[in-house]
Structure 1
Amino acid sequence: MQKEKDKNEKYVHAGKTLARIAPNTYRGITYGMSSVGLFFSAFADFCTPSVQSQIPLLQKIEQEMQEEKERYEWLNRKNGAHK
């Protein structure tokens, strides 16, 4: 019973977050919009200032992940050369 309650709370939290971040998409899902309609709603949500303001942060995170991947690959090549 507790597991189900925790699961439901997780879905409620996800729904509230989606409603806050992407209201058009949330309404489309809630009211059964067609796939094409959902696509355009999601695109419209992507163009909102709140989402646009997150893009530099996401780009920074992506760059850090790429640098870490390159470092990891370099270390693997270096360690592999000594075997």
Structure 2
Amino acid sequence: MSLSTPFSDSIEQLELLNVLELNSTRKRMRVVIRKLGDDAKPIFLLTKGADNIIFERLIRGGDEMKRATRITWRSLRATGRGR
């Protein structure tokens, strides 16, 4: 699969390794991907879910990540990219 972001002009090639489906108990979804074309072939875990559920699972001291996430969402909504 290919992925492009508004933060880069390049298109990343990725391999989908696993999907942990959304359900009403966990209230989040996760995908495990591997970045191709990189010698190290790093693996990433991407999570999507309600911000309050995700924030509950951040380690202590995750306040900076919470703040950055809220700023990013406000910016995306202001530009019409976030829904």
- Asked if Structure 1 and Structure 2 have the same fold, meaning a TM-score greater than 0.5 normalized by the shorter chain, the answer is no
Give the alignment's TM-score, normalised by structure 2: 0.30
- Normalized per residue, the structure richer in helix is 1
- Normalized per residue, the structure richer in strand is 2
Which of 1 and 2 has greater Rg? 1
Give the alignment's TM-score, normalised by structure 1: 0.30
